[in-house]
Amino acid sequence: MEEGVITIAEEEVVVHKNPIVIEGLPDVGLVGTIAASYIVEKMGYKEIGYVESDLFPPVMVIHEGKLENPFKIYGNEGVVVVLSEVAIPPNAVYPLAGALADWFNGIDAKLVISITGLPAENRMDIEKPEVFAVGNNEEAIKKLKDKQMELMEEGFIAGHYAMMLRECYKRNLNAISLLAQCFPVYPDPGAAASTIESLEKFVPLGIDVGELMEKAEEIKLKARDLMRQTALSAPEMQKGVEQDMPIMYR
Amino acid sequence: MEMERRIIRATWGYDGNLEPLYEVEDKEDEIRVTFDLPRVRKENVEINTTEDTVEVMAKMSDAVCWERWGSIQKKITFQAFRKQIRLPEPVDPEKASASFKNGILRINLPKVRRKVFIPIE
């Protein structure tokens, strides 16, 4: 493993056909991680690769006695899902976004969709979280408008998905982020369900979120430790800035 | 030191209690503490507050059992959440209030603070 470098290892030979990429990395409410895991489970996507780097914590995961990388890539020719079972350290954010964007460019991705959350102060009183969207270029924004998504018009965005939008922009890749209102430091399956429903507008996977909602409490219990790890790195990720107003507010 | 604490500090106990996720927020006149308590009903939550602590005990409606739990790799069952938090400022426990919705417990603890009006000369 080369020092300070992010490596994307492909385990299965997949002939990608302009795939749509769905990213669900640990962030507020673990919205992306919960949504991406559910998508992988429901669609039965197989593991096609993993991401490794000495910038990540020295952690492997054991599932059913088998040693696995915690940062995995799943999918098929048309859809690629990227998800991680460990929190991303802040110092890995820039190189990770760059390396993934390079790889997405290499597989000729049609659209990169990052799923995440938008902390809502009154989340406890919100029955169905709303989903907001950000696009990284005019074409992506047009796509969002065509699908009648609620656009995030002003504000700061921070963390991996913000850098992903930027790195994709630099490579002329269309990228969007779907952000559901969420609890910032509690796993939020309800917010994840809202993003999956919005995702359907871009990738018609036909996923029913009923089971996700039925299993919400079990998911919350299982996700406690990843949520704790993720919340620890939130200040360094500048997540607080998302509550601020930009000086150039129009 | 922080890393050492994270490595050795488990968020569960052999006594069947899990430590819940929680958040403490300073809201000017009050301290707001929220707890994430999945599988818990309102009637099974007990809150005890002093001037500088808040303790929550919450029994789950049905116990959760994991066949091969983490570092012990043995069957373990959890029936409740339990956590005591030291508050950043003294509060008036008599004036505390709480609400519970969809597994989230919110406790509002008014601060003990004597306000003095300062006139501008």
Domains along chain A?
A: 15-241 (3.40.50.10900)
Query: What per-residue confidence (pLDDT) applies to B5?
Result: 44
Query: What per-residue confidence (pLDDT) applies to B66?
Result: 79
Interface contacts A/B by beta carbons within 8 Å: 39
Residues of A in contact with B11 (CB under 8 A): 224-225, 228
**CATH assignment of B13-110?**
2.60.40.790
Query: What per-residue confidence (pLDDT) applies to A249?
Result: 63
- Asked if A225's CB is within 8 angstroms of B11's CB, the reply is yes
Q: Could you report the predicted ipTM of this complex, rounded to two decimals?
A: 0.84
A228 CA: distance to closest CA in chain B (Å): 7
Query: What per-residue confidence (pLDDT) applies to A250?
Result: 63
A12-48 as b/e, with b when 16 or more CB fall inside 10 Å? eebebeebbbbbbbbbbbbbbbbbbbbbbebbebeeb
Query: What per-residue confidence (pLDDT) applies to B2?
Result: 43
d(CA B68, CA A114): 33
Mutate to test the interface with A, among B2, B3, B21, B32 (most CBs of A within 10 A): B21
Q: Which residues in chain B land under pLDDT 50?
A: 1-7
Q: Does B11 touch chain A (CB under 8 A)?
A: yes
pLDDT tens-digit readout, A68-118: 999 999 999 999 999 999 999 999 999 999 999 999 999 999 999 999 999
B65 CA: distance to closest CA in chain A (Å): 11
What is the residue type of B36?
A: D
Q: Model-level pTM?
A: 0.90
Domain map (residue ranges) of chain B: 13-110
Query: What per-residue confidence (pLDDT) applies to A246?
Result: 73
Identify residues of A whose CB sits under 8 angstroms from chain B CBs.
Answer: 124-125, 183-187, 216-218, 220-221, 224-225, 227-228, 232
Angle at B31 between CA B27 and CA B35, to 5 degrees: 110
Question: Chain A residue with minimal CA distance to B39?
Answer: A217
Mutate to test the interface with B, among A64, A122, A220 (most CBs of B within 10 A): A220
Query: What per-residue confidence (pLDDT) applies to A132?
Result: 97
**Burial environment of residue B8 by CB neighbours within 10 A (0 to 12, 13 to 18, 19 or more):** exposed
Q: Which residues in chain A land under pLDDT 50?
A: none
Query: What per-residue confidence (pLDDT) applies to B49?
Result: 96
Of B6, B21, B104, the CB nearest to A124: B104
Give the strand pairing for B21-27 and B53-69: unpaired
- Asked if A183's CB is within 8 angstroms of B103's CB, the reply is no
Of A125, A186, A218, the CB nearest to B21: A186
